[in-house]
Amino acid sequence: MAIPALGDQIELLVRARYPVLYVVSWEEARVEQHLQAIAARRNKQLHVWSITEGIREASTVEGQAPGKKRAVTDPIEALEVVIQHKEAAIYLFNDLNAFLRPEIACNRPIIRKVREVARALADSYKTLVICSPLMEMAPELQKDVTVVDFSLPTPAQIDSLLDRIIKDVAQHASIRVDLHTKGREALVRAAGGLTLQEAENVFAKTLVNDGTLNGEDVSTVFAEKQQIIRKSGLLEYYEASDALDDVGGLDQLKEWLKRRAMAFTDEAQKFGLPAPKGVLLVGVQGCGKSLCAKAVSREWNMPLLRFDMGRMFASLVGSSEQNIRRAIAVAESIAPAILWIDEIDKAFAGSSGSAGADGGTTARVMSTFLTWLSEKSKPVFVLATANDISHLPPELLRKGRLDEIFFVDLPNQEERRRIFEIHIAKRKRDAGVIDTEHLAAAAPGFSGAEIEQAVISALYDAFYLGRDLTSDDILRNITQTVPLSRTMSERIEGLRGWADGRARLASTRTVEAEPTRSGGRKLEIG
Ligand X SMILES: Nc1ncnc2c1ncn2[C@@H]1O[C@H](COP(=O)(O)OP(=O)(O)O)[C@@H](O)[C@H]1O
Q: Which residues bind ligand X (CB under 6 A)?
A: 247-250, 285-291, 385, 419, 422, 448-449, 452
Q: Which of 157, 122, 123 is nearest to 143 (CA)?
A: 122
Amino acid at 23: V
Question: Which stretches within 428-509 are classed as H helix?
Answer: 436-441, 448-464, 471-479, 484-487, 489-499
Closest distance between ligand X and the C-beta of residue 238, in Å?
Answer: 13
Q: Which is nearer to Mg ion, 290 or 297 (CB)?
A: 290
Q: Is 290 in the site for Mg ion (CB under 5 A)?
A: yes
Closest distance between ligand X and the C-beta of residue 306, in Å?
Answer: 12
Closest distance between ligand X and the C-beta of residue 186, in Å?
Answer: 35
From 68-76, 186-194, 290-298, 451-459, give the range in contact with Mg ion by CB under 5 A: 290-298
Q: Which is nearer to ligand X, 15 or 504 (CB)?
A: 504
Give Cβ neighbours of residue 292 (< 8 Å, ≥ 6 apart): 244, 247, 250, 253, 254, 257, 281, 383
Q: Which is nearer to ligand X, 94 or 447 (CB)?
A: 447
Closest distance between ligand X and the C-beta of residue 284, in Å?
Answer: 7
Closest distance between ligand X and the C-beta of residue 247, in Å?
Answer: 5
Closest distance between Mg ion and the C-beta of residue 282, in Å?
Answer: 11
Q: Which is nearer to ligand X, 241 or 269 (CB)?
A: 241
Residue nearest to ligand X (CB): 448
Q: Which is nearer to Mg ion, 150 or 348 (CB)?
A: 348
Between 250 and 289, how does the x/- string for binding to Mg ion read (CB under 5 A)?
Answer: ----------------------------------------
Q: Which is nearer to ligand X, 291 or 392 (CB)?
A: 291
CA geometry: angle at 128 spanning 360 and 15, to 5°? 85
Q: Total residues at the site for Mg ion (CB under 5 A)?
A: 1
Q: Which does 287 bind (CB under 5 to 8 A by kind): ligand X, Mg ion, none?
A: ligand X
Closest distance between ligand X and the C-beta of residue 385, in Å?
Answer: 6
Q: Which does 422 bind (CB under 5 to 8 A by kind): Mg ion, ligand X, none?
A: ligand X
Strands 337-341 and 235-238: unpaired
Q: Which is nearer to ligand X, 185 or 246 (CB)?
A: 246
Q: Which of 376, 448, 375, 384 is nearest to 416 (CA)?
A: 448
What is the DSSP track for 353-401?
Answer: S-GGGGTTHHHHHHHHHHHHHHH--S-EEEEEEES--TT--HHHHSBTT
CA dist., res. 300 & res. 264, Å (int): 9
Reported as half-sphere exposure (CB side, CA atoms, 13 A), residue 461 has a value of 17
Q: Which is nearer to Mg ion, 290 or 507 (CB)?
A: 290
Q: Which does 248 bind (CB under 5 to 8 A by kind): Mg ion, ligand X, none?
A: ligand X
Q: Is 447 in the site for Mg ion (CB under 5 A)?
A: no
**Cβ–Cβ < 8 Å for 212, 378:** no
Helix, strand and coil percent figures for the chain, each rounded to 5? 50, 15, 35
Closest distance between ligand X and the C-beta of residue 281, in Å?
Answer: 7
Q: Which is nearer to ligand X, 30 or 306 (CB)?
A: 306
Closest distance between Mg ion and the C-beta of residue 281, in Å?
Answer: 9
Neighbouring-strand partners of residue 279: 383, 404
**Cβ–Cβ < 8 Å for 235, 286:** no
Q: Which does 82 bind (CB under 5 to 8 A by kind): ligand X, Mg ion, none?
A: none
Q: Which does 288 bind (CB under 5 to 8 A by kind): Mg ion, ligand X, none?
A: ligand X
Q: Which is nearer to ligand X, 289 or 364 (CB)?
A: 289
Closest distance between ligand X and the C-beta of residue 411, in Å?
Answer: 6
Q: Which helix (H) or strand (E) holds 55?
A: strand 54-57
Looking at residue 242, the DSSP 8-state letter turns out to be -
**At 470, is the secondary structure helix, strand, or coil?**
coil
Q: Which does 419 bind (CB under 5 to 8 A by kind): ligand X, Mg ion, none?
A: ligand X
What is the DSSP track for 80-140?
Answer: HHHHH--S-EEEEEETGGGG--TTSGGGHHHHHHHHHHHHHHTTSSEEEEEEESS----GG
CA dist., res. 355 & res. 360, Å (int): 5
- Residues of this chain that bind Mg ion (CB under 5 A): 290
